[in-house]
A and B are shown apart, each in its own frame.
Chain A
Amino acid sequence: MILKNKARIVTDQQPHINVEAVLTESERAALHDFMHHYPDPRAASLDSLKHVQKRNGWVDDAQVNAIAQVLGISIPDVEGVATFYNRIYRQPVGRHVILLCDSIACFLMGNESLADVFKKQLGIQYGQTTPDGRFTLLPICCLGNCDKAPSLMIDEDTYGLVSRAQVAEVLEQYL
């Protein structure tokens, strides 16, 4: 996997960073809480990234460093996880992330023409964010909602049986 951001030189000496300045008190508390769920703090890296991501919608370099420091593991370990999993974003995303299911059941129910409507109305392609920073459009594999295909998620809301005519109405709900 290619690092999404600039390459970083890894040394034993991790750049020291003022964790308090990067993570809020409640974020730090949450990270400590996650660590209690596992016998090894490294296992809390994904939970931590997901939690920290809630604030800005994505995770920046300073946050990756801070997580590494709180968990007491190396930055590359946290970065390796952050770049592997597709739901951790290492680049800014829009206020709302649209995940369009592009797996086979939705494909058979016309997801590609539905995706075209989204792309046209938003004026962006998969992987892009609208200029006003409102939406990011991404494909996702089967949402386990195939009986209501075509299916999609916006933030944490799941939609099924979405027709092309309904796209505008769906988008309107997210400002």
Chain B
Amino acid sequence: MVDHYSNKELIFKKILFLSGLFIIALLFTIFLTLIVSSFPSIKAFGLGFLSGKIWDPVFSQYGCFPFLLGTLITAGLALFLSFFFSLSISILIGEYLKKGILPFLLKGLIDLLAGIPSVIYGFWGLFFLVPIVQKIEVFLGITPYGVSILTASLVLSIMIIPYSASIGREVISLVPSEIKEAGYSLGATRYEVIRKVILPYAKGGLFAGFLLSLGRALGETMAVTMVIGNSALLPKNIFNPGNTMASVIANEITEATGKLYLSSLIEIGLVLFILTTIVNIMGSYMVGRVKC
């Protein structure tokens, strides 16, 4: 009887353990597959792949610098554009409106914004933002492409607001009430307490929130692919069409015929994987530290 129980017990514990091991194995498989499959391209171009400015499948010349630059510019610009908006929502929900129907409604709407699939953001961007950007370009007297790095950044900035806002709200609500009360009891206004007490205290967590949404913006594919214009040339300014690492993979991988071509695209995936992993681990490490 006892043996019968402990046998099942052992099997159950083994299964749990194996499921944990499987997760590790899955991640290693992902990493190894990326490295092994991008080996031909790593061997052919070495580190020059990252700084190479020419992407030309016809002449088998592959350098991912235009896409690396496109990714960093779109994500960075999106982060910059969304900064005040997500910070405002964080402060409004985290500090001003704590109870009642209004914060509930606002939170629900923000969740909704996070729930809309990215392909729909792209679709809407194509029909709403592209004409607006075109008008701006006509006004400025530049070639009115409409699809551009700026358009992609605008769409991305709307998409990442919910993420940084929800982390920001959480961090702000974690600020101990004693130090806020201490501020108020000294006669400080709400603005002063927010600026001089809450924001400095929550600084690390807010920054982590922005890092995590940066991680998201770096890897976002569909919305960007639809509005960025997909040009392999090095973008001269933000009104030019460009490409990001994710969008070039989405556009070209099913058409990649040569071995070197496919392998170069996979190497872009590897670079993207490493970049997002570093940013995300930094972000979640900082969030974890704040929560403790």
Are A and B genuine complex partners?
no
